[in-house]
């Protein structure tokens, strides 16, 4: 009988330094989800919703989410277009060791770069694998080559180590396109650390206020239209979201919390609504 | 005290006839999800996953999902581009009575059409509302106008009544772009009926087989690469999807179920795997 594996040791690494040069705050963002498994229904994409929530909390306007297949031409086209159009772009998926993981080579092509092996990643990967050393020594050359593909990045990329306990870095291209893994637990850890420390954030953050009513949407429509017209100049956005045969949630979003709450009171009175924290 | 409302009566309508002219089967599809509420994190989009599952089951290749804001210019651009590129396109969201519901007018502009009121929809809407007649009679002109916006479609659209108990139709433009509501229960009912009867489907449907292994992804990578090379000509697609610190799910997809099962046995043997029905 094989002896049980020892628990993996705790290994930590230094994080990448946060750039001290002030950069223009990120205003707009886009997400490029790369994966056949989402398009063929095997996997429900939850990463883009996590990203949407983070963007909202941090005052970044997420303008677009695209889901595309593991296809070089499509990755090249979408990565170039989104990077040209928005301040901050993430990709999710396609960075593992197998044949269907083509995100890094496709992005290298998108931005006319070669691929280069990152020694620091190889070293961290090796340290993290020490506890299964015997097992790894049995890997063939081909299997080792497959592992090392995970350290083969576009040659001019920044390699950001945003956590101290994972060997996976965030690879950043053109100063704005950040490559993240598709596995949700890893995606979230890396994204949250990246956005907290490595992205220049806007000074202001929006406040969302929601009011629920059982009145039909058409009955509240004229009031909401007029209200939106009145508060547009203040940057307040009004949304109206029906739940089938239940009622309507009205959302008010703006940077001035006191003003949004004040408008919320007016909305409550006018549409016989109640303030809700979560969607009906 | 007001008397309790009577239960709504059961009203059914005739469905639109299914066209008998044979059309070329739909091979590729795209989904355009329209809604600020998805991009600002208020709502997690589940409609695109439902669409992805239906496409897979019916043998249609979903090639792209895009989420865009309630913004006319963005709807126009995306609707034109996706309709040019794919056989079957759906939109979800933005067809209610309020100011932020701009899908129909934006699509009319995208395809250079006017808007025209659909009398059959108005009539079905009125019949469905009979049980709250008194209440509706209190609506102002503005409120009635808001309701009637839900029957104001691009003038050259087909108006397909795909269910017998909802007044909401599926509006189809250019013979391929189908407009669906964002509310998930309505989206699903209408989409499922639409795809079952009104879309020319491919003759063949794919079969998905999944194998789970606890081996690291890099160890199985060379075998999978070689296998994908070997079976590509048969139209079999191999995918590899890791779960963090658990293992890897390998997916085999092809139209020939017997062949896919046979390859699945080979995969099981080679990677010390087990067949799984649901993802690990």
**Each residue of A167-209: pLDDT tens digit?**
999 999 999 999 999 999 999 999 999 999 999 999 999 999 9
- B158 Cβ contact partners less than 8 Å away, ≥ 6 residues apart: B171, B172, B173, B175
**Positions of E strands within A35-111:** 61-68, 88-92
| CATH code at A207-276 | 3.30.70.600
Retrieve residue A221's tokens.
């429509």
Q: Residue length, chain A?
A: 280
pLDDT confidence of A142, banded at 50, 70, 90?
very high
Q: Does pLDDT of A86 surpass 90?
A: yes
Q: Does pLDDT of A109 surpass 90?
A: yes
CB of A73 less than 8 A from some CB of B: no
Tell me which residues of chain B, numbers 231 to 260, contact chain A at a CB-CB cutoff of 8 Å.
237-244, 251, 253
Picking from B147, B84, B86, B77, the residue whose alpha carbon sits closest to that of residue B106 is B77
How close B218 gets to chain A, by Cα (Å)?
Answer: 5
Contact assignment for A38 to B52 by CB distance below 8 Å:
yes
Tell me which residues of chain B, numbers 181 to 210, contact chain A at a CB-CB cutoff of 8 Å.
183, 185-186, 208
Contact assignment for B44 to A46 by CB distance below 8 Å:
yes
Test the A interface: residue of B7, B45, B51, B52 with most A CBs within 10 Å: B52
3-state helix, strand, coil in chain A (%, to 5): 40, 20, 35
CB of A68 less than 8 A from some CB of B: yes
Contact assignment for B97 to A62 by CB distance below 8 Å:
no
pLDDT confidence of A280, banded at 50, 70, 90?
very low
How close A183 gets to chain B, by Cα (Å)?
Answer: 7
This complex has an ipTM of: 0.93
The DSSP result for chain B, as a single string, is -PPPPPPPPP---PPPPPP-S--PPP-EEEEEEE-HHHHTTSS---HHHHHHHHHHHHT-EEEEEEEE-S-HHHHHHHHHHHHHH-SEEEEES--SSSTT--HHHHHHHHTT--EEE-HHHHHHHHHHTGGGHHHHHT--HHHHHHHHGGGEEETT-EEE---SS-SPPEEEETTTEEEE-SSHHHHHHHHHHHHHHSS---S---EEEEEEE-S-HHHHHHHHHHHHHHHGGGT-EEEEEEETTTEEEEEEEES-HHHHHHHHHHHHHHHT-EEESS--
- What element of type H or E holds A247? strand A247-254
Q: Does pLDDT of B245 surpass 80?
A: no
Q: Fill in the DSSP letter of residue B129.
A: T
Residues of A in contact with B254 (CB under 8 A): none
Rounded Cα–Cα distance for residues B43 and A49 (Å): 8
Strands B28-34 and A61-68: unpaired
Retrieve residue A151's tokens.
């350290």
- B19 Cβ contact partners less than 8 Å away, ≥ 6 residues apart: B198
Picking from A272, A237, A235, the residue whose alpha carbon sits closest to that of residue A252 is A237
Residues of B in contact with A150 (CB under 8 A): 218
From A62, A68, A217, residue closest to B97, measured CB to CB: A217
Share of chain B above pLDDT 90, in %: 83
pLDDT confidence of B3, banded at 50, 70, 90?
low
Do the beta carbons of residue A240 and residue A226 sit within 8 Å?
no
Q: Does pLDDT of A125 surpass 50?
A: yes
pLDDT in tens, B35-44: 999 999 999 9
Do the beta carbons of residue A190 and residue A95 sit within 8 Å?
no
pLDDT for A4 equals 55
Domain ranges of chain A: 28-197, 207-276
The DSSP result for A131-173, as a single string, is GGHHHHHT--HHHHHHHHGGGEEETT-EEE---SS-SPPEEEE
Picking from A54, A56, A36, the residue whose alpha carbon sits closest to that of residue A45 is A36
Rounded Cα–Cα distance for residues A50 and B241 (Å): 20
Rounded Cα–Cα distance for residues B7 and B23 (Å): 43
pLDDT confidence of B200, banded at 50, 70, 90?
very high
For the beta sheet containing B237-243, the strands, ordered from the edge strand earlier in sequence to the opposite edge, are: B237-243, B247-254, B207-213, B274-276
pLDDT for A170 equals 98
- B8 Cβ contact partners less than 8 Å away, ≥ 6 residues apart: B131
Rounded Cα–Cα distance for residues B103 and B70 (Å): 8
Do the beta carbons of residue B92 and residue B118 sit within 8 Å?
no
From A42, A99, A243, residue closest to B183, measured CB to CB: A243
How close A152 gets to chain B, by Cα (Å)?
Answer: 14
How close B152 gets to chain A, by Cα (Å)?
Answer: 14
- What element of type H or E holds A259? helix A257-271
| CATH code at A28-197 | 3.40.980.10
Picking from B61, B66, B109, B110, the residue whose alpha carbon sits closest to that of residue B235 is B61
pLDDT in tens, A227-252: 999 999 999 999 999 987 789 999 99
Strands B177-180 and B170-173: antiparallel
Contact assignment for A221 to B62 by CB distance below 8 Å:
no
- CA A61, A34, A91, A48 dihedral sign is positive
Mean pLDDT, chain B, rounded, equals 93
Rounded Cα–Cα distance for residues B128 and A85 (Å): 45
Do the beta carbons of residue A261 and residue A242 sit within 8 Å?
no
């Amino acid at each position: 009988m094989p002896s049980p594996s020892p628990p993996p040791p705790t290994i930590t690494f230094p994080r990448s330094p946060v750039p001290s040069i002030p950069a223009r705050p990120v205003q707009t963002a886009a997400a490029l989800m790369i994966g056949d498994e989402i398009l063929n229904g095997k996997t429900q994409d939850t990463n883009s919703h996590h990203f949407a929530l983070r963007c909202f909390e941090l005052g970044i306007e997420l303008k677009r989410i695209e889901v595309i297949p593991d296809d070089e031409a499509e990755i090249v086209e979408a990565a170039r277009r989104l990077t040209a159009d928005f301040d901050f772009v993430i990709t999710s998926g396609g960075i593992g060791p197998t044949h269907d993981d083509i995100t890094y080579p496709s992005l290298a092509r998108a931005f006319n770069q070669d691929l280069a092996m990152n020694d620091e990643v190889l070293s961290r990967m090796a340290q993290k694998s020490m506890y299964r050393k015997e097992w790894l020594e049995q890997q063939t050359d081909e299997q080792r080559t497959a592992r090392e593909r995970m350290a083969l990045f576009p040659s001019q990329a920044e390699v950001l180590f945003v956590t101290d306990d994972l060997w996976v870095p965030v690879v950043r291209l053109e100063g704005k396109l950040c490559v993240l893994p598709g596995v949700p637990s890893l995606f979230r850890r890396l994204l949250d650390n990246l956005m907290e420390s490595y992205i220049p954030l806007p000074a202001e953050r929006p406040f969302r206020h929601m009011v629920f009513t059982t009145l039909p949407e058409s009955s509240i429509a004229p009031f909401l239209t007029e209200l939106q017209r009145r508060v547009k100049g203040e940057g307040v956005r009004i949304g109206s979201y029906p739940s089938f045969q239940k009622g309507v949630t009205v959302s008010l979003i703006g940077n001035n919390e006191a003003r949004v709450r004040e408008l919320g009171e007016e909305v409550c009175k006018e549409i016989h609504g109640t303030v809700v924290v979560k969607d009906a």
